[in-house]
Amino acid sequence: KILLETNNLKKSFENADRSITLFDNLNIKINQGDLVALVGPSGSGKSSLLHLLALLDEPSKGRITINSIETKKLSNIQKDNLRREMISIIFQDNNLLNDFTTIENVMMPLLIKNIHKEEAKYKAQKILKTVKILDRSQHFPNELSGGEQQRVAIARALIADTNLILADEPTGNLDFQTSKEIFSYFLKLKKIQKTIIFATHNRE
């Protein structure tokens, strides 16, 4: 089943004296259960494409269809609802909430869906254990290292149990061993038909 499709997608930026086109006529079909790497150097448009697929930005031209829904026709509220139900995002800069502890940050996607607090806490503890940061569950983001913050961001994205996970350099701040562990977790998600698209400049 095709989960995500782009048709003639274009993204360009205009300024006073010139136009920069990141990509044009981009046509891709991504099936449920696919694990896709966007590989390229910094500045090649990987993050911009992920922002489009996450419905956080508008394309200059073309269409994005997610789960047979053409997103161009959606209102902002409908886009928010689609994101909440179907898309998890792991941002390059973490976007953690500074006033909340590690476990509260991870619980947030479930609390937004009105899942009971105790159930949300149980699931958050389970996933923090998976990404090996349960012992930091009561720490605030500014008390964590860059790699630890990234693991919290990954846990927060994974707990939502969405069909589509978009990850922008998800292992960029992590050591080699932790990167391998996170990637092996992505492979487990693929086996249960989750779709993962991640940007990286690391060909390995």
Reported residue count of the chain is: 204
Distance, CA of 4 to CA of 50 (rounded, Å): 12
Determine the 3-state secondary structure of 174 from DSSP: coil
pTM: 0.86
Distance, CA of 11 to CA of 151 (rounded, Å): 30
Residue 197: predicted pLDDT = 95
What one-letter code names the amino acid at 179?
A: S
pLDDT means per 10 residues, the chain with 204 residues, are 95 86 93 93 87 93 94 92 90 86 94 92 93 93 88 88 90 79 84 91 76
Q: Are 162 and 3 in contact (CB under 8 A)?
A: no
pLDDT, tens only, 139-181: 999 999 888 888 898 899 889 888 999 999 887 777 888 788 7
Residue 160: predicted pLDDT = 85
